[in-house]
Amino acid sequence: MKFNNIAYAMALSSTLSLSGTAIAGQDQHSYANLEQVVTTHVHLDLDINFDKKALEGFVEHTLSWQDQKSKQLILDTRDLEIDKIMYKTQNGVWHKASYKLAKRDRVKGSKLTINLNSQAKKVRIYYNSLPIASGLQWLTPVQTASKTQPFMYSQSQAIHARSWIPIQDTPSMRVTYSARIQTPEDIRAVMSADNSDVKIKDGDYRFNMPQAISPYLIAIGAGNLEYKEMSHQTAIYAEPTILDASIAEFSDTQVMIDKTNLMYGEYAWGRYDLLMLPPSFPFGGMENPRLSFITPTVVAGDKSLVSLIAHELAHSWSGNLVTNATWEDLWLNEGFTSYVENRIMEEVFGKDRAIMEQSLEVARLKEQLEKIDAADTILNLKLNGRDPDDAFSSVPYIKGQLFLLYLEQKFGREKFDVFVKQYFANYSFKSLNTAEFVDYLNENLINKFPGIVSSDKVNEWIYQPGLPADAPNPTSNVFKVVDINLQAWLNGSTKLDSLGSEQWTVHEWLHFINNLPRDISINSMKKIDAAFNLTQTTNAEIAFAWFMLAVGNGYQEVQPALDKHLTGIGRRKLIVPLYKALVKHNKKDWANKIYQNARSGYHPLAQGTIDALFK
């Protein structure tokens, strides 16, 4: 997932291994009693009720008992209404079960304790979600691109699956799943599963996910969705208004898959399709297996932002195939994914572009490192009961990537590629924590090639704050030219029309804007805007960078465009910092007015963050 927030630091408990699934000795964010019983398969039978903004039906758990004396199943829930619970004995008879739904915890939700008279083979929970479900967003037709049908989608990472499924909501366990989903006849539903049954839009859809995944990767979407293939292995589901543009933008997806197969082993999930979500989607993307969820803000018309597709695809190896055991190990998902993403971009689009993208991300990381507490900059996080959504920042993504890049540079790409490919193979369909990874790293790389990288250096990267003094610092020769021309303009020795910007890529524009003096004069901003019309750019990333500079300098001319930007999209990375900047620079009332107009179209995760600014 592409995400922005604040991080914390930690060291972890050991794990137990069961049938290829790592089970955490303790996941502080789950009530599940995995030591006694584990769900091996989930079946969902749900109606999507747009009028009530609810999923209604049942979930059936197939159970594997680890403790022969236990007769209790504990599940994670949040804001669910439980109707009844039934269990099926070994002889096939269904019985009603007693249960207790505990008081809601602010972070973890409500513990659901199910008491059984015997060790059940299956348990069914009949329930419905509520409109306030943190893992679902319900959009009216007017809030969608096509304006014709309502839209609903899930966002289960990190612990939001429990808001629409009673489940053992921890990444340390894995389940297969199947589903029957019913919708109005003119609505198509899709899931992170085999979607071959949804080609005909009839309101009754069947799904099957044969590979075991962690619960946060169970995903659903439903709306006015059309379908078009890009290749034998890839397709796009999208509202008609954005389908063809998305096909053109992401036509290199198959090439990305083929290149990654050669580097890190065969893609394990069959198809790799994309679901284009409404602009309110709070993230860049979400790596749901077989069906990545994608923001329309990356449909720029020139493939300049397709690194996001490379990132979500990379999760098919790091995250989906090999998974962090708890959210305090997030860097194992996101650091590896950011590293693999950049390798994909290098293979498909060349080294210059890959280094430019690295350089921009590292600059963003360094900026964030200056703003957050030192303890929050440690890779091996310590959440101490905080919401795991707080774990998402540049630290697990980019510091994690830099650590792996450091290892690559020290050992050489040839040796490091062998290590990474074998790591993915050895932990395929398993979860692990940071301590286990360090053991694996020491055995298969550090000790195998002694005298290159010390264990102390590994520990510095993982357990110490900030960046080591010898951390890689990717530098783009292309950006050096931009810097020279920018400095010449600032010194008055050249004009704006002599910068050579006619051939600039998005990355060069971002570097240019981000390296303008933060106290640049209003007059200079007017000149830049007159020359390049940045206020009216249709590229969401460039607009964000320009608006951030404008807000900080009081450049009022951006206000109409900024209003449109904040109202038209819900991607947290592109709106939350702008709201914060507006509040900081004495535009709170104006920002609040925009927010109240836009709020109903934002995802609950974005609402929660921005609500706090205006309390």
Tell me: the pLDDT tens digits for 512-556?
999 999 999 999 999 999 999 999 999 999 999 999 999 999 999
- Domain extents for the chain? 322-463, 516-614
Residues 6+ apart with CB under 8 A from 406: 453, 461, 468, 470, 471, 472
**What tens digit of pLDDT does each residue of 484-494 get?**
999 999 999 99
Whether 414 sits among the annotated catalytic residues: the reply is no
261 contacts 249 by C-beta, under 8 angstroms: no
Cis, peptide link before residue 145, omega less than 30° from 0 = no
CA 237 to chain centre: 19
Please classify residue 549 by burial: count the beta carbons closer than 10 Å to its beta carbon, then call 0-12 exposed, 13-18 middle and 19+ buried.
buried
Structure tokens at 156: 């289960």
Residues 6+ apart with CB under 8 A from 19: 64
Residues 6+ apart with CB under 8 A from 119: 37, 63, 65, 68, 70, 71, 90
Question: What average pLDDT does the segment 198-209 reach?
Answer: 95
| CA distance linking residue 328 with residue 363, whole number of Å | 24
Longest Cα separation, the chain: 87
| CA distance linking residue 295 with residue 297, whole number of Å | 5
CB count, 10 Å around CB of 431?
26
Q: Which of 205, 216, 397, 602 is catalytic?
A: 397
**Which candidate, 534, 502, 539, places its Cα nearest to that of 520?**
534
Question: What average pLDDT does the segment 127-138 reach?
Answer: 96
Question: What average pLDDT does the segment 348-354 reach?
Answer: 96
The one-letter amino acid at 389: D
Average of per-residue pLDDT values in the chain: 93
Q: For 516-614, CATH number?
A: 1.25.40.320
- Does position 21 have pLDDT exceeding 50, yes or no? no
Structure tokens at 412: 């050489």
| CA distance linking residue 340 with residue 64, whole number of Å | 35
What integer pLDDT is reported at residue 2 of this predicted model? Answer: 56
State percent of the chain over pLDDT 70: 96
- Does position 361 have pLDDT exceeding 80, yes or no? yes
What integer pLDDT is reported at residue 15 of this predicted model? Answer: 33
565 contacts 547 by C-beta, under 8 angstroms: yes
**Which candidate, 239, 183, 170, 190, places its Cα nearest to that of 24?**
170
- Does position 4 have pLDDT exceeding 90, yes or no? no
- Does position 9 have pLDDT exceeding 90, yes or no? no
HSE (CB half, 13 Å, CA atoms) of 139? 28
- Does position 6 have pLDDT exceeding 70, yes or no? no
**Which homologous superfamily is 322-463 in?**
Neutral Protease Domain 2 (1.10.390.10)
Q: Which of 312, 346, 347, 357 is catalytic?
A: 312
- Does position 17 have pLDDT exceeding 80, yes or no? no
Whether 249 sits among the annotated catalytic residues: the reply is no
| CA distance linking residue 150 with residue 188, whole number of Å | 11
| CA distance linking residue 530 with residue 90, whole number of Å | 75
Structure tokens at 456: 């102390």
- Does position 416 have pLDDT exceeding 90, yes or no? yes
Q: What is the CA radius of gyration of the chain?
A: 24
Write down the pTM of the prediction. 0.92
**Which candidate, 555, 473, 560, places its Cα nearest to that of 516?**
555
**What tens digit of pLDDT does each residue of 255-280 get?**
999 999 999 999 999 999 999 999 88
Structure tokens at 132: 């306030």
Where residue 25 falls among pLDDT bands split at 50, 70, 90?
Answer: low
3-state SS, residue 295: coil
Structure tokens at 11: 């060291």
Query: Mind giving me the DSSP string for 116-174?
Result: -SS--SEEEEEEEE-TT-TTEEEE-GGGSSSSSS-EEEE--TTTTGGGTS-B---TTS-
**What tens digit of pLDDT does each residue of 56-87 get?**
999 999 999 999 999 999 999 999 999 999 99
> What element of type H or E holds 52?
none
